[in-house]
Amino acid sequence: MSSGRVATLLKQFVSRTQLGRAATGWTSQCSAQVGTSRSFMTQGSRVMAAAEAPSTSGRLPAFWHQIRRSAWTDSKGYTHFDSSRGSWFSFGPRAQYALGAGVFGFGVYYWSSLETVPFTGRRHAILFVSRKGEQELGKHLFEQQCLEARMEGRLLPAHHPYTQVVRKIGARLADVAAQGVGAGSQEHMKGLNWEYAVIDSAVPNAFVVPGGKVVVFTGLIKMLASEAELAAVMAHETAHVLARHHAERMSTLNLWAIARFLSYALFGIGLPNSALYLGIFLPYSRRAEYEADEIGLQLMASACYDPSAAVSMLQKLHHKEQAMEAQSRMSVPGFMRTHPLTDTRVDKVKKDLAQAYKTYSESNCGVVQGFLDVFM
């Protein structure tokens, strides 16, 4: 073979070898890029799954991670994808079973927690609130209020006439409430340690905390003219305890906390507390006041206090409120009040007087006098 022919063959061999190496290098680069792309896709999928799944820092159960994503893994390790539903509402079997059991369990708990309010017959559920915890909270609040008033020199002593009349009326109403009048659920009334305190303050107000702890301000006592009118106020406060309005309000707060958690965990939406205050708390507070007026009428009638004193008491309170608003030049809209407008309360109490007088007659009561002239 000639030297020229050999040179030509050598050149062809070298050229093919370089082309093969270049192709091999290009293929390797493509494979590396594809591998890198797959790696990015895998990491991206993990990031997306992590973004869709709730955080485990709050010690959520394992099934929670099947919620809010469209893929789930069965017991054999196979991954299933659900393309017919959005990722927000795709639940794996374990999550479905757990949620179903949770809904059923809550339904049973809710049903077992239902109580009947005496006199009105309204049904309400007391949720996640124990009687012991309710009473301990009331005791703490009452002691704190008395301590602050004592340190300021505004807590009236036990021998003061105002304190004595408040305790006398309170004991009379508490005895009636403990007798089971009005039917309904009254287990929470057993063994209550009723306590009463009078605080020197110009504000015409009185309030009660859980467990039968009543506080009356001197501004209210001075506004009234008879023991029956003061009894109307204290019967109203006793009615709050009988109807367990405090426990019902705490139950509402507990449910709201659960609703806020679920709304944020499932949908990423935080419910504003203003919605609770304006949409639930204030309307319920006004309804509870109406109910306490109705029950209080029955309690004072059963304790042989003239029910009509509730009307005169509210009328005086209404005039006092008007004077205070005129002085401050401020008027709170009805939907922003914790209590209904007093004039509407007067109208409703007048409608309930017929039933109250029936109770009064059945209790064999005479008209109770007992004016507070000695205190004026």
Q: Which residues are catalytic?
A: 237
Whole-angstrom Cα Rg for the chain = 36
Q: Whose structure tokens read 């008491």?
A: 313
Is the separation of the CB atoms in 313 and 229 below 8 Å?
yes
Q: Whose structure tokens read 């007093």?
A: 342
Cα separation values, 357 from 207, 238, 292, 297, 308, Å: 26, 19, 17, 9, 9
* C-alpha–C-alpha distance, residues 259 and 255, integer Å: 6
* C-alpha–C-alpha distance, residues 335 and 286, integer Å: 9
User: Residue 2 in 3-state DSSP?
Assistant: coil
User: Residue 120 in 3-state DSSP?
Assistant: coil
* C-alpha–C-alpha distance, residues 140 and 210, integer Å: 10
Tell me the H-state helices in the chain: 3-52, 93-112, 131-151, 161-177, 218-223, 227-242, 245-267, 273-276, 282-302, 308-328, 342-362
Q: Is 73 exposed, middle or buried (0-12, 13-18, 19+ CB in 10 A)?
A: exposed
